[in-house]
Structure 1
Amino acid sequence: MQLKSRLFSVAVLAAFGGSAFAAQPPVVGRALGLIRNHAAVTRASVNDAFQARDVIVDANGTEHVRFDRTYAGLPVIGGDVVMHSRNGQLKSASVAQRAVLNLSTKPKLAANDAVVAAGTEFGSDFAGAPQRSLVVYARGAGAARLAWQVSLSNSRADMTYIVDAQNGRILDRWSNHETAAASGVAKTMYSGDVTLTTNSLFSGFEMRDPTRGRMYVIDASNSRTSGQIYKDADNVWGNYALSDAATIAADAQYGAATTWDYYKTIHNRNGIADDGKGALTRVHYGFNYANAFWNDACFCMTYGDGNGTTVGPLVSLDIAGHEMSHGVTSRTAGLIYSGESGGLNEATSDIFGTMVEFHANNPQDTPDYLIGEEIYAANVPGSSNQRALRYMYNPIADTRSPNCYASDLGNLDVHYSSGVANRFFYLLAEGSGAKTFSGVNHAAPTCNGGSVAGLGRDKAGKIWYRALTVYFTSDTGYAAARVATINAANDLYGIGSAEANTVAAAWSAVSVN
């Protein structure tokens, strides 16, 4: 046991030329010491060595050091490790490798034979001399394998293959171009001509965004392409109409990208779950399906194509922002979808869906406080009498959503009980004076006869976001939401600030006292 510990220490140091810990940056030396003292945690063997690749030190002194691993001098694919510590004490380690390595490093398969195995799949028209090197392949749940890493490329593709060094079986492959972002052009139904970031493939493009968590769109219809990601040869998507299935996919991806950008730019939130991962979008769902929904289990949005008569596909910008914001609520306050908390859940999605629309400021889908007006076939853009799913400035315009709070509000469907919070937010952002958006008069008389001077959309959005992510709980109702948003305003702008007072006034204006 003592011999193993000594050999392991030497192996760790060998990655830095066998010098003493003091010769390394102190943060790296400390992390190496933790690897040495916690070999079981990092699945380290006496043949392992570690080379620091990245160092991050938090403001509170927590240190995160990322290492690449070698085994008997061979690179270990899937062997990287991140040591997290503070004041020299291990907090945790991020380790993908499943088990301690123990394998022969003598291949049975010659390097040239590995190239032949890879070339059988890639094709014989690769350019230049293939690159090949021995590695240890430790990705996934299976036992680690000695392998040849073979790189083949030509004008169309640049591929890496992992070939088992014992039997020639291809264990893995990946494109070195797969995450190359490309700028595509989309002809959407609701937002006109927009730019999409797409993924460059060997021969064309796919509707996957490498710059936004690799979010992507699939066909959810009952056609032969169901379940497949949308692909295109020239990176021009759609034709402004349903006759091209990619049109609706482009609307949905544009909405997802714009929502991502809003949360990132305004709230410094890195994706729906704040983990940098993009969500899946499904379009053309069902038959005459006039709805859209977020499902947290699949981390995905789903959009129907409408009923074919009164409403079209439900992929307008504010609806996309609405659905993705349900995911944000799920990953933060988790507002239960019934009673008053359910109304606040729906209002949160309407609020942020609207803020996404304003953030985009798209000239064809001009921003307003109408929800889903773009999907109504009879609407004339810019007219004063447009229909909508909901009217945030005057909820009762749908004949079912109250403008003012009452004690039985929680008995309503959550899409209607949301109206009071929607109107509160409109008053907080824009005030009670008459304004016009998208040709529609947004008059908002108050329930108590008073007036409210709005704070502007930026401040109102930040107050609601902080309340959602810091103060709301799963069962927050309207009275608690008043307290939470006042606390949020106090945090952001000072206790007793004009902003906090305006929050209180806006709640009183919808009878939440």
Structure 2
Amino acid sequence: MTPRISRKARITGTAVAAAAALVAGVAATAGASTAPAFTSASPVALTTSHRAEMIRDASAAKAQTAKELGLGSQEQLVVKDVIKDADGTVHTRYDRTFAGLPVLGGDMVVHRAKDGSIKSTTKSTQKTIKVASLTPKISAAAAAQNAHGTAAKSISAKQTGAQAAKKVVWAASGTPVLAYDTVVKGVKKDGTPSRMHVITDANTGKKLFQYDDIRTGKGESEFSGTVDLTTTKDGSNYTLTDGERGGHKTTNLENAEDGDGKLFTNSTDTWGNGKPDNPETAAVDAHYGAAETWDYYKEVHGRSGIKGDGKGAFSRVHYGDNYVNAFWDDSCFCMTYGDGEGNKAPLTAIDVAAHEMSHGVTSATANLTYSGESGGLNEGTSDIFGTSVEFYAKNAEDPGDYLIGEKIDINGDGTPLRYMDKPSKDGQSQDNWDSSTGGLDPHYSSGVANHFFYLLSEGSGAKEIGGVKYDSPTADGSKVEGIGRDKAEKIWFKALTEYMTSNTDYKAAREATVKAATDLYKADSAEVKGVEAAWNGVAVK
């Protein structure tokens, strides 16, 4: 049957959800953002057709662009994304190949003025992309076998299979070398699926790098209240299909661990009863969280959907059995939520959606590698935008704050999971950068980014915001004056989408945010000075 127009359904009763990711809970109806004044460097909202046309134009001109950049004859550019500013500046993000092989760590952004001239280029590596030989000394089978052993130590659970090792050029660190990328699939002890990439030198067999595609977090139940959902009439029934937001769907996995799940369908347009024993309740929170996240990115940043292409992702609820987690997976372009301990606390809170779907936005833009300092920036970005969505939603029952996971009680004593004003209060996160930052789990090295964002937004010292008391120190004892959260999130988004690349570290993040602030508010502005002062405050020079 042909679906009819989308509509909004009123959901009565409370909606119990669980916060899976490491972000502050959001339980809200949509609200307008108090965005800063529009500037000539602000990204314009592109229609899906206009964006597609710009990508086609950039693809048609990629050979000329490669020539302008002085790339070698064996290098080719692959257009990934295009962003246009109000002043006509166009930022085109490229991946790169060498002799037909993907170059991992070879991504770049080319910034062109309105007249088409290249203003600057942001590269993930300054190294020349070339390798001595394209013939490996190690076989693909041997590389895959080595990768299995490496992944087994990391996954610490059953392996379910692996893709064949693929030849690549590894350029993310050191001198570019011929390498293999082997993806080992598995399931971790807690039931989380894993897709571990193991990069090995194709000539020596040495492991060069590894990272997991799956992004996760943990949490307990929270109250999210009565919400509006956009649904679709299909014959005599309604489905959880959001035609206003790229066709986002919410499905029921019915405790399975794979597949797309079954689309939620109801003869009435009233969903759930606010209790986790009703399968629709988890779907309500997941569907609503996806809508709030979509609306935030579109209304605040002019981005239509996670990839910017106007297409919705989809949400799967009731994953596995007693699965106390939730995760974003690029391969299915979907959010997945477990039902928590005893299958009684679905991890479907809006903060989970905002945090995890922001991993998708990062993947579609800077693609910050989930390891080392770039991993901390990846995780911090999701914290920053998860918090931003909470403020955007403006819910009286759960107002915006800088306390990450304050509603989920993961510690069992009512304390937040993380603190943006002083991350070290959680006992594991870093307040400031030091030489050990890159060796930490991304969830803890993200503290540096979170602290920076708080200082940039609100400034240092003791204060009370929305009834919550904060006291943010600085690494050097300096006093930082905040520029306001609305400007801070605009700067971070522009830096992420236009000036960060896959291997951006904290020093490069400072450079990216200074460039973004300069574009938006001009050199020597209070905003640029605020960015510099906030980075100084977390010891990133």
TM-score normalised by the chain length of structure 2: 0.57
1:439 Cα offset (Å):
5.0
Partner of 2:110: none
Structure 1 residue corresponding to 2:490, chosen from 434, 458, 462: 462
Cα deviation 1:150-203 (Å, max 9, x = unaligned): xxxxxxxxxxxxxxxxxxxxxxxxxxxxxxxxxxxxxx9632011111111111
Supply the AA of the counterpart residue of 2:312.
Answer: G
Residue 359 of structure 2 is aligned to residue 326 of structure 1: yes
Secondary structure of 1:455's aligned partner: coil
In 2 relative to 1, CA 496–507 (structure 1 residues): closer, same or farther, beyond 3 Å? same
Partner of 1:441: 469
**8 Å Cα contact 1:386-1:440 kept in structure 2:** no
**8 Å Cα contact 1:189-1:240 kept in structure 2:** no
Supply the AA of the counterpart residue of 2:359.
Answer: H
**8 Å Cα contact 2:222-2:407 kept in structure 1:** no
**8 Å Cα contact 1:367-1:437 kept in structure 2:** no
Partner of 1:498: 526
**8 Å Cα contact 2:452-2:535 kept in structure 1:** yes
Cα deviation 1:39-74 (Å, max 9, x = unaligned): xxxxxxxxxxxxxxxxxxx998xxxxxxxxxxxxxx
Cα deviation 1:447-477 (Å, max 9, x = unaligned): 2111111111110000000000110010000
Residue 415 of structure 2 is aligned to residue 387 of structure 1: yes
Residue 453 of structure 2 is aligned to residue 420 of structure 1: no
1:226 Cα offset (Å):
8.1
Residue 506 of structure 2 is aligned to residue 473 of structure 1: no
In 2 relative to 1, CA 221–466 (structure 1 residues): closer, same or farther, beyond 3 Å? same
Supply the AA of the counterpart residue of 1:501.
Answer: K
Instruction: Show structure 1 runs of 5+ residues with no match.
Output: 1-57, 61-187, 380-384
**8 Å Cα contact 1:344-1:418 kept in structure 2:** yes
Structure 2 residue corresponding to 1:241, chosen from 259, 275, 287: 275
Cα deviation 1:191-245 (Å, max 9, x = unaligned): 2011111111111211110000000111123279981011122211111120211
* Separation in structure 1 between the aligned mates of residue 266 and residue 416 of structure 2, nearest angstrom: 33
Secondary structure of 1:313's aligned partner: coil
The equivalences for 1:183-222 within 5 A come to: 190-222=223-255
Higher relative contact order (CA 8 A, sep 6+): 2
Aligned-residue identity in percent:
55
Residue 387 of structure 2 is aligned to residue 354 of structure 1: yes
In 2 relative to 1, CA 420–59 (structure 1 residues): closer, same or farther, beyond 3 Å? closer
**8 Å Cα contact 2:326-2:347 kept in structure 1:** yes
Q: Comparing 333-342 with 311-320, which one deviates more in the overlay?
A: 311-320
In 2 relative to 1, CA 413–59 (structure 1 residues): closer, same or farther, beyond 3 Å? closer
RMSD of Structure 2 on Structure 1 (CA) = 2.4
**8 Å Cα contact 2:375-2:442 kept in structure 1:** yes
1:440 Cα offset (Å):
3.8
1:303 Cα offset (Å):
1.3
Supply the AA of the counterpart residue of 2:291.
Answer: A
* Separation in structure 1 between the aligned mates of residue 329 and residue 284 of structure 2, nearest angstrom: 20
Supply the AA of the counterpart residue of 1:215.
Answer: H
* Separation in structure 1 between the aligned mates of residue 345 and residue 425 of structure 2, nearest angstrom: 21
Q: Comparing 214-223 with 194-203, which one deviates more in the overlay?
A: 214-223
Supply the AA of the counterpart residue of 1:294.
Answer: W
Partner of 1:55: none
1:431 Cα offset (Å):
1.3
Secondary structure of 1:375's aligned partner: coil
**8 Å Cα contact 1:318-1:371 kept in structure 2:** no
Partner of 1:429: 457
**8 Å Cα contact 2:410-2:417 kept in structure 1:** no
**8 Å Cα contact 1:403-1:510 kept in structure 2:** yes
In 2 relative to 1, CA 482–213 (structure 1 residues): closer, same or farther, beyond 3 Å? same
Partner of 1:294: 328
**8 Å Cα contact 1:373-1:386 kept in structure 2:** yes
Partner of 1:367: 400
Secondary structure of 1:198's aligned partner: strand
* Separation in structure 2 between the aligned mates of residue 455 and residue 313 of structure 1, nearest angstrom: 37
1:425 Cα offset (Å):
0.3
**8 Å Cα contact 2:319-2:336 kept in structure 1:** yes
Supply the AA of the counterpart residue of 1:367.
Answer: G
* Separation in structure 2 between the aligned mates of residue 377 and residue 308 of structure 1, nearest angstrom: 16
**8 Å Cα contact 2:260-2:316 kept in structure 1:** no
1:305 Cα offset (Å):
2.0
* Separation in structure 1 between the aligned mates of residue 410 and residue 499 of structure 2, nearest angstrom: 40
**8 Å Cα contact 2:256-2:319 kept in structure 1:** no
Structure 1 residue corresponding to 2:378, chosen from 345, 358, 383: 345
Supply the AA of the counterpart residue of 1:297.
Answer: S
Instruction: Show structure 2 runs of 5+ residues with no match.
Output: 1-85, 89-220
Partner of 2:439: 411
Cα deviation 1:81-125 (Å, max 9, x = unaligned): xxxxxxxxxxxxxxxxxxxxxxxxxxxxxxxxxxxxxxxxxxxxx
* Separation in structure 1 between the aligned mates of residue 382 and residue 516 of structure 2, nearest angstrom: 18
In 2 relative to 1, CA 337–223 (structure 1 residues): closer, same or farther, beyond 3 Å? closer
In 2 relative to 1, CA 371–284 (structure 1 residues): closer, same or farther, beyond 3 Å? farther
1:390 Cα offset (Å):
2.2
Supply the AA of the counterpart residue of 1:337.
Answer: Y
**8 Å Cα contact 2:411-2:417 kept in structure 1:** no
Secondary structure of 2:482's aligned partner: coil
TM-score normalised by the chain length of structure 1: 0.60
Equivalent residues, number: 323
